[in-house]
């Protein structure tokens, strides 16, 4: 212990005594100040490393001791929270009826009653469609549940993120076409109308891939077949047979478990919104693909000119049986046969649509320049003729007043496919209705009526159309402008 200084000077005294060397105590505030920035730097470096590490490898860090006890607890807790959140998102997927009965009074307007909560994507002149996943769906895929064939309100739809599908969901790979048809798929006109928008979308997407499957709905009710005419046309167009989804093996007999689609395109407006230019593109592709599929080439048809050098003109009487057939077929055939005989190069063919296969109809139409036929679905075949061909249509009594706008459908398809609709003859006679002519109850009678004939009118009409077609074909031959048939079809 240091001795105190003395007054005598034996032990010297200093005014400012020397300080002995000292060390910072573990309990000193200075030590805390020095260590705080060091710990802060280490903390930041540790978290930077943790952020740069992929989540999937977190358990590797734990196994090598690179996570502290606190980090291990956090990882376990976070993983459990994520699983809980994913489960809640799965359960939160809300299924709605495909057919929304709130809009039953206007089922085809706007968003329609089919998948009514979903808006369409529509660019000017293009087809209206829905695509999943997409920006519009916020990256979510389409899921369907139910396979009811009698009540569309029992079939359901929902959107879900592909990483978090609804419980027990089956994910179907590939591209799925989901079609809504307000009428049916067996009638070739209504069936074609429902298919046209998909072909327009296919062209818009540079024909990148055919559909893996089709899902067909009528009023929200599942349909599992296409008509015998539409099916081969779609096979010709997409290069492979159409796979119509039946949802067998998904969720039992009533499909109680959902099916989700890796990619889906939904159409519910038929050709609505498409410009005439786009429709022409579609029908040109259909015509070309059908001819290639059926091995119909320019060489397989009759020659451009006959042995005398006159342009060959194909006139086809496409007849019906039953409703809207001609009452006196032999008289009608005789009138057009005589008119055809008066024009060099004219060749008359009489055919019945119900007796021909799809490819036989394609071959017949490819050799037809003038199509003569009663109003009916068989007229849909007109787009298989060369562009600028002519159509002559016939109606029973009463249709003009009572049939509504649908009676002009073959005027429309003629325009959309590049044909010339040369007018319609409407029978002034026919079956008598017990009600006034403008009473809608009469339509049930007129719809099934047969058609008479007017020899003088038919003869003059045929002469006029034949004269125009002869002139046009002569000009076409001189310009060599007939549409070629090739394997590429521009798509």
Instruction: Looking at the structure, tell me whether residues 420 and 299 fall in a common domain.
Output: yes
Beta bridge partners of 82: none
CATH number, position 414: 3.40.50.360
* pLDDT, position 41: 57
371-315-343 Cα angle (round to 5): 135
First-residue to last-residue Cα distance in the chain: 106
Helices (H) and strands (E) in the chain — how many of each? 12, 13
Instruction: Looking at the structure, tell me whether residues 237 and 301 fall in a common domain.
Output: no
Instruction: Looking at the structure, tell me whether residues 250 and 318 fall in a common domain.
Output: no
Domain end (from 208, 241, 274): 274
* pLDDT, position 87: 72
Instruction: Looking at the structure, tell me whether residues 249 and 368 fall in a common domain.
Output: no
Is residue 19 assigned to a domain?
A: no
* pLDDT, position 429: 92
* Contact partners, residue 270, CB within 8 Å, separation at least 6: 193, 194, 196, 197
* pLDDT, position 64: 38
Mapping DSSP onto H, E and C, the string for 470-484 reads: HHHHHHHHHHCCCCC
Is residue 20 assigned to a domain?
A: no
Domain end (from 211, 239, 274): 274
Instruction: Looking at the structure, tell me whether residues 129 and 195 fall in a common domain.
Output: yes
* pLDDT, position 47: 52
Is residue 101 assigned to a domain?
A: yes
* Contact partners, residue 448, CB within 8 Å, separation at least 6: 322, 323, 324
Please tell me the distance from the alpha carbon of residue 271 to that of residue 279, in angstroms, as a whole number.
Answer: 8
Is residue 1 assigned to a domain?
A: no
DSSP H or E segment with residue 23: none
Is residue 73 assigned to a domain?
A: no
* pLDDT, position 48: 45
Please tell me the distance from the alpha carbon of residue 360 to that of residue 294, in angstroms, as a whole number.
Answer: 8
Exposure pattern of 405-427 as b/e (b: 16+ CB <10 Å)?
eebebbeebbebbbbbbbebbbb
Exposure pattern of 304-330 as b/e (b: 16+ CB <10 Å)?
eeeeeeebbbbbbbbbbeeebbbeeee
Please tell me the distance from the alpha carbon of residue 350 to that of residue 331, in angstroms, as a whole number.
Answer: 13
SS3 category, 435? coil
Inter-residue contact 394 to 400 (CB < 8 Å): no
Instruction: Looking at the structure, tell me whether residues 111 and 216 fall in a common domain.
Output: yes
* pLDDT, position 46: 54
DSSP string, 282-324: HHHHHHHHHHHHTT--GGGS--SB-TTSPBPEEEEEEE-SSTT
Is residue 366 assigned to a domain?
A: yes
Is residue 155 assigned to a domain?
A: yes
Instruction: Looking at the structure, tell me whether residues 231 and 359 fall in a common domain.
Output: no
Domain end (from 241, 274, 307): 274
Please tell me the distance from the alpha carbon of residue 447 to that of residue 404, in angstroms, as a whole number.
Answer: 12
Parallel, antiparallel, or unpaired: how do β-strands 346-352 and 313-319 relate?
A: parallel
Please tell me the distance from the alpha carbon of residue 229 to that of residue 194, in angstroms, as a whole number.
Answer: 13
Instruction: Looking at the structure, tell me whether residues 457 and 391 fall in a common domain.
Output: yes
Instruction: Looking at the structure, tell me whether residues 284 and 268 fall in a common domain.
Output: no
Instruction: Looking at the structure, tell me whether residues 269 and 283 fall in a common domain.
Output: no
Spell out, as residue ranges, where the chain has pLDDT lower than 70: 1-77, 252-254, 298-302, 480-487
Closest CA to 54 of 82, 75, 85: 75
Instruction: Looking at the structure, tell me whether residues 224 and 316 fall in a common domain.
Output: no
Beta strands in 163-224 (DSSP E): 170-180, 213-218, 221-223
Closest CA to 185 of 213, 216, 214, 210: 216
SS3 category, 137? coil
Is residue 286 assigned to a domain?
A: yes
> pTM of the prediction?
0.80
> Residue length, the chain?
491
Please tell me the distance from the alpha carbon of residue 298 to that of residue 300, in angstroms, as a whole number.
Answer: 5
Q: What is the per-residue pLDDT across 305-329, written as a single tens digit (0 to 9) for each?
A: 888 888 999 999 999 999 999 999 9
Q: Distance from CA of residue 146 to its chain's centroid?
A: 20
Q: Which domain holds residue 430?
A: 279-479
What would the two tokens of residue 363 be? 């071959």
Instruction: Looking at the structure, tell me whether residues 208 and 232 fall in a common domain.
Output: yes
The total of structural domains in the chain comes to 2
What would the two tokens of residue 54 be? 């992929």
């Amino acid at each position: 212990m240091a001795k105190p200084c003395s007054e005598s000077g034996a032990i010297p005294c200093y005014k400012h005594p020397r300080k002995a060397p000292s060390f910072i105590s573990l309990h000193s505030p200075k030590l805390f100040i020095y260590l705080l920035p060091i710990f802060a730097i280490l903390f930041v470096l540790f978290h930077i490393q943790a952020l740069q590490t992929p989540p999937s490898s977190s358990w590797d860090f734990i196994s090598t001791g690179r996570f502290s006890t606190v980090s291990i607890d956090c990882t376990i807790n976070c993983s459990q929270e994520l699983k809980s959140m994913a489960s809640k998102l799965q359960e939160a997927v809300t299924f709605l009826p495909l057919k929304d009965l709130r809009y039953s009074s206007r089922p085809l307007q706007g968003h329609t009653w089919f998948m009514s909560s979903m808006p369409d994507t529509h660019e000017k002149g293009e087809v209206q469609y829905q695509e999943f996943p997409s920006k519009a769906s916020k990256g979510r895929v389409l899921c369907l549940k139910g396979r009811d064939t009698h009540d569309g309100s029992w079939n359901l739809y929902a959107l879900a993120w592909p990483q978090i599908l609804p419980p027990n969901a089956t994910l179907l790979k590939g591209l799925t076409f989901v079609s809504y048809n307000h009428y049916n798929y067996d009638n070739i006109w209504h069936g074609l109308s429902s298919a046209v928008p998909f072909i327009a979308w296919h062209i818009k997407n540079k024909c990148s891939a055919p559909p893996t499957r089709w899902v067909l709905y009528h009023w929200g009710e599942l349909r599992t077949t296409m008509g015998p005419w539409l099916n081969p046309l779609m096979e010709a167009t997409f290069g492979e047979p159409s796979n119509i989804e039946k949802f067998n093996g998904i969720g039992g007999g009533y499909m109680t478990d959902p099916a989700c689609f890796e990619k889906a395109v939904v159409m519910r407006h038929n050709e609505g919104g498409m410009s005439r230019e786009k429709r022409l593109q579609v029908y040109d592709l259909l015509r070309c693909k059908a001819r290639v599929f059926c091995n119909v080439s320019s060489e397989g048809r009759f020659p451009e000119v006959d042995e005398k050098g006159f342009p060959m003109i194909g006139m086809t009487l496409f007849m019906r049986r039953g409703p809207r057939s001609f009452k006196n077929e032999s008289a009608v055939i005789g009138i057009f046969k005589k008119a055809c005989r008066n024009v060099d190069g004219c060749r008359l063919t009489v055919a019945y649509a119900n007796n021909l296969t799809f490819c036989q109809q394609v071959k017949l139409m490819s050799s037809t320049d003038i199509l003569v036929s009663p109003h009916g679905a068989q007229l849909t075949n007109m787009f298989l003729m060369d562009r600028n061909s002519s159509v002559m249509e016939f109606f029973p009594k009463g249709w003009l007043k009572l049939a509504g706008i649908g009676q002009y459908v073959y005027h429309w398809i003629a325009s959309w496919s590049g044909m010339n609709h040369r007018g319609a003859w409407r029978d002034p006679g026919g079956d008598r209705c017990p009600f006034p002519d403008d009473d809608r109850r009469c339509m049930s009678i007129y719809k099934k009526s047969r058609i008479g004939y007017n020899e003088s009118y038919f003869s003059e009409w045929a002469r006029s159309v034949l004269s125009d077609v002869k002139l046009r074909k002569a000009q076409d031959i001189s310009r060599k402008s007939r549409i070629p048939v090739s394997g590429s079809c521009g798509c």
